[in-house]
């Protein structure tokens, strides 16, 4: 563990993207130096591709894994190169099971060319994409989706409470996680799809072992990635369970915690 990593994978929001949406010059410099040294850089996020332009513009290099592992995304060409989707029938079954278990729940779905929500689903980040909504998400399901979103818009349950129910009710059907403990929001992917699973896939294609990879993240959707990598850092201001899945703790994201760790790693021998 005393050598430089061959691959660096990082979450975005709450990890290298600050609460005000900016990325510090120190962070860009640390990643730029790593890239110049030949280290593979992966931005691994729950974001959809449409939210990646600012990352492309800030860095100008690296590869992306979007939708919590559902997509490989080429930042330079702005194209999805590979994807793992939730089928139409599974989306409908998820909605059916979760409505029965959590009556206040509402849904949204995301695919390449559309984002749809139920009227009772109050969006925070996608305001303006669907200002009409449908009564039930089943009426908007047209085909495979890379992500389903489920929330209690009235805040009746926390994200952690919702996740506990969903893991039980949706076992063997989909993968469920969340990326914000304060939003009463679940993020649902195809069965077996996670940040860690997809990162392992791309690292294997590069013939890079887990011991030569390092990752950074702040919330449960990052835990699979933190756990897979030989070295990993949960953010000090992230989810309280982060330390259980990581080998270390980085300083808070607004204090350039990731950049500080990378700077130290780059001083190690190759």
Tokens 């059916």 belong to 96
| Confidence at residue 132, expressed as pLDDT on a 0 to 100 scale | 84
What domains can you pick out in the chain, each with its CATH number?
7-83+194-265 (3.40.50.1000), 88-190 (3.30.1240.10)
CA neighbours closer than 13 Å in the CB half-sphere of residue 231:
16
CB 75 within 8 A of CB 56: yes
Which tokens in the block code for residue 90?
């599974």
| Confidence at residue 182, expressed as pLDDT on a 0 to 100 scale | 83
Question: CA-CA distance, 117 to 106, in Å (whole number)?
Answer: 8
Nearest to 146 by CA among 72, 240, 54: 72
Q: ∠165-216-170 over CA atoms, to 5°?
A: 20
| Confidence at residue 62, expressed as pLDDT on a 0 to 100 scale | 95
Question: CA-CA distance, 247 to 224, in Å (whole number)?
Answer: 13
Residue-by-residue pLDDT tens, the chain, 270 positions: 589 999 999 999 999 999 899 999 999 999 999 999 999 999 999 999 989 999 999 999 999 999 999 999 999 999 999 999 999 999 999 999 999 999 999 999 998 777 899 999 988 777 667 778 999 999 999 899 999 999 998 989 999 999 999 999 999 999 999 998 888 999 999 999 999 999 999 999 999 999 999 999 999 999 999 999 999 999 999 999 999 999 999 999 999 999 999 999 999 999
CB 257 within 8 A of CB 233: yes
| Confidence at residue 1, expressed as pLDDT on a 0 to 100 scale | 55
Question: CA-CA distance, 155 to 42, in Å (whole number)?
Answer: 33
CB 214 within 8 A of CB 265: yes
Q: What is the pTM of this model?
A: 0.95
| Confidence at residue 127, expressed as pLDDT on a 0 to 100 scale | 61
| Confidence at residue 183, expressed as pLDDT on a 0 to 100 scale | 86
What are the b/e assignments for 169-185, b being 16+ CB within 10 Å? ebeebbbbbbbbbebbb
CB 203 within 8 A of CB 209: yes
């Amino acid at each position: 563990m005393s050598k430089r990593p061959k691959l660096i994978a990082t979450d975005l929001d709450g990890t290298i993207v600050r609460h005000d949406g900016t990325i510090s010059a120190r962070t860009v410099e640390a990643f730029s130096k790593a890239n110049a040294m030949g280290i593979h850089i992966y931005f691994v996020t729950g974001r959809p591709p449409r939210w990646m332009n600012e990352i492309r513009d800030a860095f100008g290099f690296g590869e992306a894994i979007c939708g919590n592992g559902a997509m490989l995304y080429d930042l330079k060409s702005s194209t999805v190169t590979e994807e793992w989707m939730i089928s139409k029938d599974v989306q409908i079954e998820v909605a059916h099971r979760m409505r029965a278990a959590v009556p206040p729940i509402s849904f949204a779905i995301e695919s390449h060319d559309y984002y749809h929500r139920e009227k009772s689903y109050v969006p925070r980040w996608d305001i303006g994409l669907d200002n009409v909504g449908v009564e039930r998400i089943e009426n908007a399901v047209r085909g495979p989706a890379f992500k389903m979103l489920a929330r209690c818009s009235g805040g009746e349950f926390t994200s952690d409470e919702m996740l506990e129910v969903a893991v039980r009710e949706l076992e063997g059907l989909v993968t469920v996680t969340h990326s914000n403990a304060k939003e009463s929001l679940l993020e649902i992917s195809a069965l077996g799809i996670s940040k860690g699973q997809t990162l392992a896939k791309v690292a294997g294609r590069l013939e890079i072992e887990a011991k030569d990879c390092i990752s950074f993240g702040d919330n449960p959707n990052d835990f699979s990635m933190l756990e897979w990598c030989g070295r990993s850092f949960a953010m000090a201001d992230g989810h309280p369970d982060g330390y259980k899945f990581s080998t270390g703790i980085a300083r808070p994201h607004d204090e350039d915690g990731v950049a500080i760790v990378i700077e130290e790693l780059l001083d190690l021998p190759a």
